[in-house]
Amino acid sequence: MDYKVISADDHICEPRDLFVTRMPEKYRDRAPRVMRGEDGGDGWSFDGKTVPRTLGIEATAGREIRISGYKWEEILPGNYDGAAHLEDMKVGDIDAAVMFPAVGMTAWSMKDDPFALAMAQAYNDWMIEDFCSPDPDRLIGLPMLPVNHGIDATLAELDRSMKKGAKAVTIPVFPDVPYIDEQWAPLWSAVEESGAPLCMHRTSGGNDPAGKGTFNFDIPGLNVAGSVIRFFAGVEPLTNLTFTGVFDRHPKLKFVHAEINFGWVPFWKNTMDECWEKQKGWAQFPFDHRPSDVIGKNVFVTVLDDKLGFDLIKDEPYLADTAMFSTDYPHSFCLWPDTQKFVKELTADIDRVAREKVLAGNAARVFNLN
């Protein structure tokens, strides 16, 4: 397929009855379900009684932006139906899209509870078997790896998902055991062998040990300050993986960190290289090359309307090998349905080769799309 525009970061809202119908019967009383909230909207209940927050900015595509208050019937079917998502992609002239989970990510915050494993597997089966089935070459679902259930369970779910046809997988930003721990070496090796990329999303997934609380929706100003902060979420995990030599021990490993833009990448690149150059006499780095060599080879980011980043490509050409365009459908930063207007404006001053890489080429290469 001739891909012209790929969104490397789309989202879904799981069907309202997904976990009730797909999870093993013994867990269905606990299963998340959509219920009516106090504000008249619909939201996810985790106890069968209360709704912490109703649907809003996570499902706002094609609607007036609201923090919450949507009824289920008010959100676009493209949120939860693959065929409808393809129709919405037509509107934006988008050839393929990568799908991140939504409420399913709460499984990563439940430690090693067997319920959490069942919840992740129910989501994975639905994503691959149902949502992506209308066109698996254009809808690229990301199964969740149950990293808090031990390496054996993680490897088993990777294998199960790949056999079902997955082209990539997603992991939480905050696992119970940090990714620099040696226990993850078998996962890195298995992912290398599969050829699939590992994807993370901003600060999503797991329990942040620092308790930064960047999802505070109640305090005016902080409700949006968290969104600003999350654009810099890639610095810590990507630097740690790079400096501890993970990409040298696993040179074919591909990490995609989504929705963090790329205007910051040149400063990050220069800072890593400067620190390596000045400190390599004593630091015993587990590699003998510039840390920035991983950029565009092992490390990739997805970008929205980051005009600064696009303009930097002329002076920092490696950025064109690193960035993947995205729309963030259906979230509040969404570049849909006017996707082509954004594409035209963002790429007006970059050359054709760079344009093709960022809009589709990098994603097709990393996600092994034909």
Q: How confident is the model at residue 215, as a pLDDT?
A: 63
What average pLDDT does range 318-326 have in this prediction? 98
In a domain, 69, yes or no: no
Q: How confident is the model at residue 212, as a pLDDT?
A: 60
DSSP string, 319-360: GGGTEEE---TTSTT---SSHHHHHHHHTTTS-HHHHHIIII
Neighbours of 113 (CB within 10 A): 15
pLDDT surpassing 80 at residue 43: yes
Residue pair 325/8 in contact (Cβ under 8 Å)? The answer is yes
In a domain, 180, yes or no: yes
In a domain, 68, yes or no: no
SS3 at position 255: strand
Q: The tokens of 338 are what?
A: 């006017």
The phi and psi torsions of 198 (rounded to 5 degrees) equal -95, 130
161-204 pLDDT, tens digit each = 999 999 999 999 999 999 999 999 999 999 999 999 999 999 99
Q: How confident is the model at residue 370, as a pLDDT?
A: 81
Q: The tokens of 20 are what?
A: 């009730």
* CA distance to 8, 180, 254, 304, 344, per residue, from 247 (Å): 22, 11, 9, 26, 35
Q: How confident is the model at residue 14, as a pLDDT?
A: 98
Least confident residue range of 19-28, 75-84, 131-140, 206-215: 206-215
In a domain, 276, yes or no: yes
Residues facing residue 54 across a β-bridge: 43
In a domain, 88, yes or no: no
pLDDT surpassing 70 at residue 158: yes
* Host H or E run for residue 171: none
Model confidence at 210, in pLDDT bands (50, 70, 90)?
confident
272-289 pLDDT, tens digit each = 999 999 999 999 999 999
Residue pair 253/247 in contact (Cβ under 8 Å)? The answer is yes
Q: How confident is the model at residue 220, as a pLDDT?
A: 77
| CATH number of residue 123's parent domain | 3.20.20.140
Average pLDDT over the chain, rounded to an integer: 96
Q: How confident is the model at residue 132, as a pLDDT?
A: 98
Q: How confident is the model at residue 182, as a pLDDT?
A: 96
213-266 pLDDT, tens digit each = 556 667 777 778 888 999 999 999 999 999 999 999 999 999 999 999 999 999
In a domain, 310, yes or no: yes
Q: How confident is the model at residue 311, as a pLDDT?
A: 97
pLDDT surpassing 60 at residue 55: yes
pLDDT surpassing 70 at residue 360: yes
Q: How confident is the model at residue 214, as a pLDDT?
A: 56
Amino acid letter for position 351: D
pTM, 2 dp? 0.96
Range of the domain at 254: 6-10+102-366
In a domain, 87, yes or no: no
In a domain, 34, yes or no: no
Distance CA 172, CA 174 (A): 5
Count of structural domains, the chain: 1
Nearest by Cα to 51 from 69, 65, 63, 64 = 69
Q: What percent of the chain has pLDDT over 70?
A: 98
